[in-house]
Structure 1
Amino acid sequence: MKHAAAEYEIVVCGGGLAGFAAAVSAARMGRTVCLVQDRPVLGGNSSSEIRVSPRGASTYHAYAREGGVLAELMAGERLRNHEPIFENGWTNSIWDLSLYDIAQRTENLDLLLNTAVTAVSVEDGRLTAVECWTATAETVTEVTGTIFLDCTGDGVVAALAGCEYRYGEEARSEFGEPHAPRAASKDTMGNSLHFKTKDVGRPTEFQLPEWAVEYDDPDFFYQQGRFPQGVRGGYWWIELGKPWDTIDDAETIRHELTRRTLGVWDWIKNKDPRTREQTENLALDWLGQVPGKRESRRIVGLHLLTEHDLLREDAFEDEVAYGGWNIDLHTPGGLLAETSEPTAAAGYDLRSEASVTAYVGPFGIPLRSLIAKDVTNLLMAGRNVSATHVGLGSVRVQATTAIMGQAAGTAAAVALTRDLPVHDLPTRAAGAVQQQLLKDGCFLPHAVNADPADHARRARVSASSQALYLGASPGDRWVDGGLREGGRRVGDQLTALRGQWIPLETGPEAPGLRSVSVLLQNDGNSAVKIPARLQQVDHIWDYRVDTGPVLAETELTVESGEHWIDWTVDVGPQTLRREEAGGQYVRIDLGASPEVQWLRAGRILPGAVSAFEMATGRMRRFGAGVTMSHRVEPAQHAYPPRSVVSGAARPHEATNLWRSDPGHPFEQWIQLDWDEAQEIRVLQIAFAGHLLREFDQTPELWADPQTVRDYTIRAKTDGGWVDVLTVQGNGLPRRVHELPEAVRTASLRVVVHATHGDPSAAVYEIRCYSSEG
């Protein structure tokens, strides 16, 4: 047995997506970082060992996909991976290598793989070292550090250090959480195993081993929320916890899950009349042996996140991340319970009580929930953060844990840079952490770019052209919004009130909105009257049915058949909530009328999504993020050049996007001008794409059609325009360029030569800095 020692500024324990994002972000800020991971691969539950696709807020909210390190990872993996994504079981080693590649290209970051934390050293309330065991090398390593991050999932470091932690369910009376049980318990959500099948092109047989569990009751699957939707891969509901402990009995659970996973496949392939024909040529290709874990220890921090925080509308002053997954509390016991998770047991009915009460977000997450209260230099990220059982039900999903990880890693680096105690960060440096996160491509619902070092904020902005917002129709076949929508004529019955967001131009030159038209189809034989209302909304996730003063209201008469219905609204710019230039949203709401269909547009206009009333007074996203057919008059300059310095890099309170006129050929350009020459060394660009929908809805070897593929950075000097840098074949939504040498210029252009399919060049944000730091 060997002994070794190593010293770093930041030690991150746990290499899942939370720990990975924490380590990479801290190292990129110039701190020395060690990432300790007890498995041979990075990614935790998302890795090829477990194969849970990272999901988060964009499963429920349009344009809510998580940014930062995770966005870079997901976009890069799709560019190079030949394998399609299926919700569970289809992750391959290309995903593992994508994480490993980023880690290897990150300066200041060292990996200790196949290495488990076995002991810690604490002096005067501070962690000083972790003792690690690398089984493959038979080596004990003492890793000392200044700040530690526990991203182990089970909270191993914090538990060894003596931190208070919670385990199981809190009683409803403790915090008044509606989703909490009446009595506290030690029950947790369970662990799951996934499997993958392969089409071998001919009939195959499967024989259930005698030691496996046999299932033969259809009600167990179809009446208790265990639907075998799709037969290609495993299911989240193959889950076990209670009566076993997810830590102490982990190996027992693994074996029991293996027995039951084989039994589920036997049912699907050999017995279920709904799936036997589909699985005739399918063979079992892979069965996991590392269970994915949902819940165990939750470390008590400076703030305990509760269900009330998931419904909070005002901002935490120390907001450093956000969530948007539903309150996803799996039934204790999993396969041994009477039913599976409540929304599944309700048949995924979006208007069921289970679905309505579970729908939350997007909501902010405070830095205090990532700081352990009992050790002064310990942060945590992942499913071990400071939250109640109910609070964890939303923030435990991997995309959310990844951005919490980036927040924790960034906070640790800021603490070192400013020589601040970790416990002082929320009150003394929350703004600095927020600005660094925004600079590094993260999104925060209640913060915008206020970086004084960013020269772009002081620039005048112009462009070669800008797209007009006219609305969209079923026949539109442009490729935008992230996915190709054209080719099918789809109508949706107005079974509930339906809303359509419309971006409007604001400012002294804004034309106002004279009329709105909608394309409706009346399937009946007589005319139908539908109530219609136009009102302002605060942002793209403003799901209130009644948002405040109504701008216009009427009844639309829809004759039998398909018709464009025109409505004169005469909304002047002076009546809008915002007076400054930049834009805002209004929403047209049509009342329920089941005999009438509202036809979908053939494209998705950036920012123009729709929602439906799921319960009295509350809406939720309609479909996967679609644009309903509508027209506006006059045309709106809803994608102005100034958007690239608005401070926001996604369509939140406005579109915050510059789009070139799709009728103009490339090259299209966006230009920054200053009164005095600026020294520019680093340029950051956030292109459109990769925000609208979830990662697992994108195909293999894919680049978002909106994302700019080929572009050149040009600077104006005494000799005229000079090409500073040219990029070809880009597929990432965010690029950071350190120029070969600093350029002194009063005019800078980003010239777009091609996208991946969209006829418009589109940019959310440009930042300019004098130095890399």
Structure 2
Amino acid sequence: MIISEPTSERALKKIQLEADLTIVGGGLAGTCAAITAAREGVKVVLVQDRPVLGGNASSEVRLWALGATSHQGNNNRWSREGGVIDEIAVENLWRNREGNPLYFDSLLLEKVRAEPNITLLLNTAMVGLDKDGPDRIKTIHAFCSQNSTLYDVTSLLFCDASGDGIVGYLAGAAYRVGAEKADEFDEAFAPAESYGELLGHTIYFYGKDTGEPVKYVAPDFALKDIKAIPRHDQIEVKQYGCALWWLEYGGRMDTVHDTEEIKWELWKVAYGVWDYIKNSGKFPEAETQTLEWIGTIPGKRESRRFEGDLMMSQSDIVEQKRFDDAVSFGGWAIDLHPADGLYSADSGCHQFHSKGVYQIPYRTMYSRNVDNLFTAGRLISSSHVAFGSTRVMMTCAHNAQAVGMAAAMCQEGGFNPRDLLEKDQMQALQRRLRRSGQYIPHLELPEDREDLFHSAQVKVSSEAQLASFSQSKHLATMDCARALLLPAQPGVLPEMTFYFSSKSDQTLEVQLRRSSLAGNYTPDDILETLSLLIPEGEAMAVTAKFSAKIAEFEYVFVCLMACPGVEIVQSEMHHTGVMPLVHTANKKVAKDAVQRPPVGAGFNCFEFWLPERRPVGKLPAVTFNPPLSCFGADQLRNDYARPFIQSNAWMADLSDEKPTLELIWDGLKKVQKVVIFFDVDYDHAMETVQWHHAEDAMPFCVKHYRLYAGVGQLLAEDCENYQGRVELNLREPVETNRLKLELLDTHGAPASIFSIQVYSV
């Protein structure tokens, strides 16, 4: 028993912590920065003011996390983010393909708690800080409401991933709110005059069918007049959750300090919309529906943006500019919303895509005037227009991984964030990111001398010659244009024989296309056009023979243009680095199959050629004569662990029952770590929550493998793998002049490897 005598005052319990890096904010950005840094040996304190991790992706808000893949609704092929966030997305798919947000919460908590270098403070809000001079933060102060404890956290480095930027704000870091004038960054999509309106907040809700009638009595504060929402006619019974993202409010308010007021307005709207669904009489199918869940905090889109040594702008995205300090990439559309949100009669968003992904430079990820402050998440240095793309969660997480790795280098070398701009330091950062699985398009680095793979002779059991995709019983209509996306070598493409069914003779136009910019997947350059006769009949063979010469290694599109009344025979086969596409629109992210921006808006007009999600999306049945040779062991020498410009994949011949890759050195090598990159279909948009996926593992991924040293010394075996990046750390170094990797089974497609790295330490 405790008995306390009266006193004039008491102090809260206080705990003092020291770390190498303090991260404030536990959304996907803060979480991935913390995990990345901790795995590099950095002592991290992660301060999160909510009871769970994930921010807008958590069960508190329930927004699916997306990035450059954009629901597979743009031309960014194989563009899912890499590194830790991809590890999380792939793991979530394996455990949670139905998209339960509670499962995703537990996964994030598990990943953070697995790192002994992370001290996690949940329900802990930062309330102040101390500085060590005008340009350095020394200590942050935070309070946990659940244990009534104050924390003083001191470190040499800080990262603000808080969304609203409380660390940067209190530290005096330069920041901006609202849109810049068009002439400041020469942005055609920006307003002529600067304004303060922002993207607003949204609260989601979900219904559930109980199987019996359920009445609903709305609270007094619920919206009574649904016509106050100009677009109320877009509301449908089954259209709740993320589909109602456009029920947005607060864009004309202070999205930091007015959040509670904004939340009440959103509750008013959400309960009012449910009342309309249940009691208006327009939705009899809602009689058995009940309101299963409604958010208690709003999902925020925009508040402060902090200035770094460079601010990204519209042209950086649209023109896909290159940066010497590129450490990440983006690919979501520039997606801006009307400030009046749900009360606007205008469209809920104005989004325009670039023709491909774009680089994000390191200079956007630290404060220009607070020396030891990194910024992550939606706080990075960008204009309001560029923010329309960089703000999405997977992009934020991918950027934050670069921050976590940069913090490790700063901790090791006693640097400030800006110091890593020096060429050797920047290349070291980029190399470490690439090793960890970070994808940085168009990044060319000197050979990684620490990777023993580069000094090895590579011997494989066989190499794939792509001869055909066999016919199946499945047919697809040619009412819309379809394409086969292929890696090509310099020279002339092989003859391709497709199979069609038609009730009458038809003429099919076939175009050979490429992208006008290397590394893009927008087929805007027509190299050659053929007209082919489709004879009446079933599964009729039709051969396309192009004479145009391919000048360099690149991806090409064989476009079979629309031919109503004709069906194409499809295949059940899957193949790494080859993809079927359809010329169509994904209504979630585009209004039409052709992007037609307003004149003078600063965007390009171009066609969308999109994949259909499996099991619908199938390759066409086709025969190649001679077979296509783009999957040899030489592809492992390329820099990218995914298809990009080339397949970058080694595949064995389809008849090879035990594909084997050997690395052979002239002398003994001391091997401590082996990293293998398998194919987890980087084109599949792995929406994290509220989305039912058809698969829990990607068919291309190697499921069962064995790794040997020397003659028969088994180092590792896994018969249930589903991850793309597999890091094998040996308990003791092994001296050997030979490693052998056997690929014994996959999740459905022929086995392939993108990369294998070998390190002594």
Q: Please give the residue correspondences for 1:60-459 in structure 2 after superposition, counting only pairs within 5 Å.
A: 60=74, 61-81=76-96, 84-85=98-99, 90-92=100-102, 94-122=103-131, 123-217=133-227, 220-221=230-231, 230=239, 235-271=244-280, 273=282, 276-277=284-285, 279-342=286-349, 357-359=352-354, 361-428=356-423, 429-447=425-443, 450-459=447-456
1:545 equivalent to 2:524? Answer yes
- Equivalents in 2 of 1:156, 1:110: separation in Å? 20
State the SS of the aligned residue for 1:286.
strand
Q: Contact 1:226/1:237 (CA < 8 Å) preserved in 2?
A: no
- Taking structure 2 as the reference length, the TM-score comes to 0.88
Question: CA-to-partner distance for each residue in 1:548-569, whole Å, 9 max, x for gaps?
Answer: xx3x543333445664421222
The DSSP-based 3-state class of the residue aligned with 1:173 is coil
Query: Closer, same or farther in 2 for the Cα pair 1:190/1:471, shift >3 Å?
Result: farther
In the alignment, is the contact (CA less than 8 A) between 2:200 and 2:341 conserved in 1? yes
Cα gap change, 1:489/1:369 in structure 2, threshold over 3 Å: closer, same or farther? same
**CA deviation string 1:720-758 (max 9, x = no partner):** 321112223222221111112211222211212222233
2:753 is aligned with 1:763 = yes
1:707: which partner in 2? Answer: 701
Is 1:607 matched with 2:621? no
> Is contact 1:513–1:633 with CA below 8 Å preserved after alignment?
no
Out of 638, 641, 646, the position equivalent to 1:646 is 638
Match of 1:39 in 2: 50
Hey, what's the Cα distance between the residues in 2 that align with 1:440 and 1:412? 15
Alpha-carbon distance in structure 1 between the residues aligned to 2:190 and 2:571: 41
Q: CA 1:708–1:514 in 2, change beyond 3 Å: closer, same or farther?
A: closer
Change over 3 Å in CA distance of 1:307–1:560 after alignment to 2 = farther
For the residues of structure 1 that align with 2:595 and 2:161, how far apart are their CA atoms? Answer: 38
- Provide structure 2 residue ranges, at least 5 long, that are not aligned to the other structure: 1-11, 584-592, 597-604
Rounded Cα–Cα distance in structure 2 between residues aligned with 1:765 and 1:615: 36
Q: 1:501 to 1:471 in 2, by over 3 A?
A: farther
Q: Name the CA distance, whole Å, in 2 between partners of 1:401 and 1:263.
A: 33
5 Å matches for 1:627-642? 629=620, 630-642=622-634
Match of 1:347 in 2: none
Q: Distance in 2 between matches of 1:174 and 1:737?
A: 49
Find the partner of 1:673 among 650, 664, 675. 664
Gaps of 5+ in 1: 344-354, 476-486
Distance 2:703 2:434 in 1: 23
- How far 1:25 moved relative to its partner? 0.6
Kept in 2: contact 1:130–1:144 (CA 8 A): yes
Q: State the 1:587 CA deviation.
A: 2.5
Q: Match of 1:481? A: none
Helix, strand or coil for the counterpart of 1:695?
coil
C-alpha separation between the residues in 1 aligned to 2:255 and 2:451? 48
Counterpart residue type for residue 313 of structure 1? Q
Match of 2:724 among 710, 727, 733: 733
SS in 2 for 1:766: strand
Distance 2:198 2:79 in 1: 28
Q: What amino acid does structure 1 have at the position aligned with 2:633?
A: P
Q: Quick one: distance in 2 between partners of 1:698 and 1:280?
A: 25
For residues 325 and 597 of structure 1, do their structure 2 counterparts lie closer, same or farther at Cα, with a shift above 3 Å needed?
farther
**How far apart in 2 are the matches of 1:234 and 1:569?**
44
Distance 2:54 2:321 in 1: 33
Cα offset, 1:430, TM superposition? 1.9
- What do residues 445-495 of structure 1 show as CA deviations (whole Å, max 9, x unaligned)? 0125732111112222232333332353662xxxxxxxxxxx753224246
1:680 CA drift (Å) = 0.8
Q: Deviations over 1:637-694 (max 9, x none)?
A: 32223333422100011111122334443x3322212222221110111111141211
Quote how far apart the aligned CAs of 1:173 are: 2.7
Q: CA deviation at 1:703?
A: 2.0
- 1:432 match: secondary structure: helix
Q: Matches of 1:471 and 1:230 in 2, distance apart?
A: 42
Tell me the residue number matched to 2:7. Answer: none
The aligned residue for residue 5 of structure 2 is none
Alignment of 1:682-701 (within 5 A): 682-696=673-687, 699=693
Aligned partner of 1:482 in structure 2 is none
Give CA deviations for 1:561-592 in whole Å, capped at 9, x if unaligned: 66442122256xxx5434xxxx6423223456
Identity %: 29
Equivalent residues of 2:23, 2:158 under 8 A apart = yes
**Aligned pairs, number:** 717
Task: Say which SS state the counterpart of residue 735 (structure 2) adopts.
Answer: strand
Q: 2:531 aligns with which of 534, 555, 558?
A: 555
Between 51-60 and 446-455, report the one with greater CA deviation.
Answer: 446-455
Q: Which amino acid aligns with 2:757?
A: R
**CA distance in structure 1 between the aligned counterparts of 2:694 and 2:563, rounded to whole angstroms:** 40
1:517 alignment counterpart: 497
Summarize deviations over 1:195-223 as a string: whole Å, max 9, x none.
12233233323232232013545984466
2-structure distance, mates of 1:240, 1:473: 52
Aligned counterparts of 1:266 and 1:600: Cα–Cα separation in 2:
47
1:754 maps onto 2:740 in alignment: no
Please provide the CA RMSD for this pair.
2.7
Tell whether the 8 Å contact from 1:645 to 1:766 is kept in structure 2 after alignment: no
TM (norm. structure 1) is 0.87
Q: 1:614 to 1:457 in 2, by over 3 A?
A: farther
Once the 2 structures are TM-superposed, how far is the Cα of residue 391 of structure 1 from its aligned partner?
Answer: 0.5
Query: Counterpart of 1:465?
Result: 462
Name the amino acid aligned to 2:134: D
